[in-house]
């Protein structure tokens, strides 16, 4: 599989998260908790997801994090101590006191069937852990911040007229090995007044988004996929669906770009990479907990419209490339993840140059979008409010002559690699 095909899959898989978010959220597996590589056991009361937040039984969480646990039944006050760190909590109060300082929690401690539950992400942050979610195993993973950071990534800084923009080139898909992120990335988020993303994928399951997917991605004229692709391509698709326990015509209602995205999602999941563990969703979740304003640089309409606007030939070529390589465990996918984790600028540039070999694909996927996003970022840099922005978009949007970094430099800004 060539680098161009990999690049297309990883960029488009942001849309795959959009298309199939409801299936992910409906997964039947129980939620698990892992701390520094060790799975935590629960006696009768497991973690739960409530309004998008993962809640964990309080006593088991304190024990798993090696905190000495004290509880005053009369005052409803709970105190945990560990290595000079003291955290105090009170039922019904959505703030903790950490070494005398008040720290906001994403929700108050909550009673469920007589057991007190805590929001694991905000408590883990307060206790000195990185917290993230592995969708494949439905596991909340906590890693001590003392563990060496795995994800250097691609981070740049731009300042102008009292405003600062951090540019983070993202991986839309990731796994547990990406975390903790490099301290410079976390610091950029802590400074930020706004989080900017391509689209807010937390809205993926909204009825309006799903309706748009069906409107653009499914045939509306009575034809089916079989009428729009070659017999050879259709036969290959049917064989792969059958091998995966699905009817050969399971995706007949959808256009080639939707089918490609579906198969790319299945293919990537075999390697362990998930959108739910991606860099974008990691920061979207943290921004929601901080109540940080979220800015969308694009829209679902523009992204879905871009894929829908690909020529029939390009749609079939992309689909056929996935079909031809579907059963291969491609080392290049891991190589791309390693590229991100080590912040390998040369490898990123090579990937972007490979994508540029198809003029139609390159113009739609990168050139036009990069120009539009750069114009919005320029607006932030020239704003009147002296604000800090963390902009998180796919890493391939950053590199090369057509990348956002170079486009900003051409506008006269100084962009510094972090």
pLDDT in tens, 1-51: 344 444 444 444 333 344 444 333 334 468 888 888 788 888 778 888 877
Same-domain check for residues 258 and 345? yes
Residue 233 lies in a domain: no
Same-domain check for residues 284 and 158? yes
Same-domain check for residues 298 and 160? yes
Residue 231 lies in a domain: no
Domain total of the chain: 2
Range of the domain at 20: 3-26+151-218+254-417
Residues 6+ apart with CB under 8 A from 37: none
pLDDT tens, position by position, 44-101: 788 888 776 788 888 888 888 889 888 876 667 888 898 888 998 887 788 888 888 8
Residue 396 lies in a domain: yes
Same-domain check for residues 290 and 378? yes
Same-domain check for residues 127 and 156? no
Residue 223 lies in a domain: no
List of long-range contacts for 219-228, beta carbons under 8 Å, 24+ apart? 219/253, 219/254, 219/255, 224/249, 224/252, 224/253, 225/251, 225/252, 225/253, 225/254, 225/255, 225/256, 225/259, 226/252, 228/255, 228/256, 228/312, 228/316
Domain end among 88, 105, 134: 134
> What integer pLDDT is reported at residue 128 of this predicted model?
82
Domain end among 92, 109, 134: 134
Same-domain check for residues 124 and 179? no
Residue 230 lies in a domain: no
Same-domain check for residues 16 and 64? no
CA distance 3 to 347: 10
Cβ atoms 7, 190 nearer than 8 A = no
CA distance 45 to 320: 47
CA distance 341 to 182: 9
Q: How many helices (H) and strands (E) does the chain have?
A: 15, 19
Same-domain check for residues 58 and 194? no
Same-domain check for residues 292 and 391? yes
Of 352, 323, 209, 199, the closest CA to residue 256 belongs to 323
CA distance 25 to 9: 22
Same-domain check for residues 311 and 373? yes
- Enter the tokens of residue 48: 């739960």
Residue 412 lies in a domain: yes
Residue 388 lies in a domain: yes
Same-domain check for residues 46 and 123? yes
- Enter the tokens of residue 246: 């699905």
- Provide DSSP, 301-358: HHHHHHHHTS-HHHHHHHHHHHHHTTT---HHHHHHHHHHHHT-HHHHHHHHHHHTTS
Same-domain check for residues 20 and 43? no
Paired strand residues for 82 = 85
Whether the upstream peptide bond of residue 180 has omega within 30° of 0, thus cis, is yes
Residue 18 lies in a domain: yes
Domain end among 104, 134, 164: 134
- Enter the tokens of residue 351: 């990937």
Number of CB atoms found within 10 A of residue 315's CB:
21
Per-residue pLDDT of the chain (418 residues; tens, 9 = 90+): 344 444 444 444 333 344 444 333 334 468 888 888 788 888 778 888 877 678 888 888 888 888 988 887 666 788 889 888 899 888 778 888 888 888 888 778 888 888 888 888 888 888 888 787 766 567 888 887 655 456 789 999 999 999 999 999 998 878 777 888 888 999 999 999 999 999 987 777 778 888 998 999 999 999 999 999 999 999 999 999 998 888 999 999 999 999 988 887 777 666 777 777 789 888 998 998 889 999 999 999 999 999 999 999 999 998 998 888 777 655 566 777 888 988 889 888 888 888 888 899 999 999 999 999 999 999 999 999 999 999 999 999 999 999 999 999 999 999 999 9
What is the value of pTM for the model shown? 0.71
CATH for 85: 3.30.457.10
């Amino acid at each position: 599989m060539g680098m161009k095909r990999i690049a297309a899959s990883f960029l488009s898989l942001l849309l795959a998260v959009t298309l199939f978010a409801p299936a992910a959220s409906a997964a039947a597996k129980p939620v698990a908790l892992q701390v520094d590589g060790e799975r935590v056991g629960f006696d009768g009361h497991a973690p739960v997801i409530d309004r998008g937040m993962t809640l964990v039984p309080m006593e088991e969480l304190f024990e798993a994090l090696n905190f000495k646990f004290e509880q005053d039944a009369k005052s409803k006050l709970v105190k945990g101590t560990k290595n000079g760190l003291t955290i105090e909590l009170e039922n019904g109060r959505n703030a903790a006191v950490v070494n005398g300082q008040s720290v906001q929690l994403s929700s108050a401690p909550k009673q469920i069937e007589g057991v007190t539950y805590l929001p694991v992400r905000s408590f883990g942050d307060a206790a000195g852990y990185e917290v993230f979610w592995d969708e494949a195993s439905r596991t909340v993973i906590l890693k001590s911040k003392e563990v060496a950071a795995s994800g250097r990534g691609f981070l740049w800084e731009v300042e102008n007229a009292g405003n600062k923009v951090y540019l983070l080139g993202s991986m839309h898909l990731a796994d547990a090995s990406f975390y903790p992120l490099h301290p410079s990335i976390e610091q950029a988020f802590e400074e930020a007044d706004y989080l900017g993303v391509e689209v807010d994928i937390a809205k993926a399951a909204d009825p309006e988004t799903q309706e748009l997917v069906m409107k653009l991605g499914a045939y509306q004229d009575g034809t089916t996929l079989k009428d729009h692709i070659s017999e050879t391509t259709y036969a290959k698709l049917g064989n792969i669906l059958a091998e995966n326990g699905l009817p050969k015509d399971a995706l007949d209602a959808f256009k080639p770009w939707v089918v490609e995205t579906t198969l790319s999602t299945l293919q990537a999941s075999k390697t362990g990479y998930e959108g739910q563990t991606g860099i974008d969703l990691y920061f979207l979740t943290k921004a929601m907990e901080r109540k940080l304003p979220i800015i969308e640089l694009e829209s679902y309409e523009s992204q879905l419209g871009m894929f829908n606007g690909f020529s029939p030939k390009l749609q079939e070529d992309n689909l056929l490339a996935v079909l031809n390589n579907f059963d291969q465990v491609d080392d290049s996918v891991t190589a791309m993840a390693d590229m991100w984790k080590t912040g390998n600028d040369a490898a990123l540039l090579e990937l972007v140059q490979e994508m540029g070999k198809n003029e139609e694909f390159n113009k739609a996927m990168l050139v036009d979008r990069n120009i539009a996003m750069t114009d919005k970022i320029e607006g932030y840099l020239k704003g009147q409010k002296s604000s800090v922005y963390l902009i998180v978009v796919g890493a391939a949007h950053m590199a090369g002559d057509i990348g956002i970094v170079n486009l900003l430099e051409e506008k006269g800004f100084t962009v510094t690699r972090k």
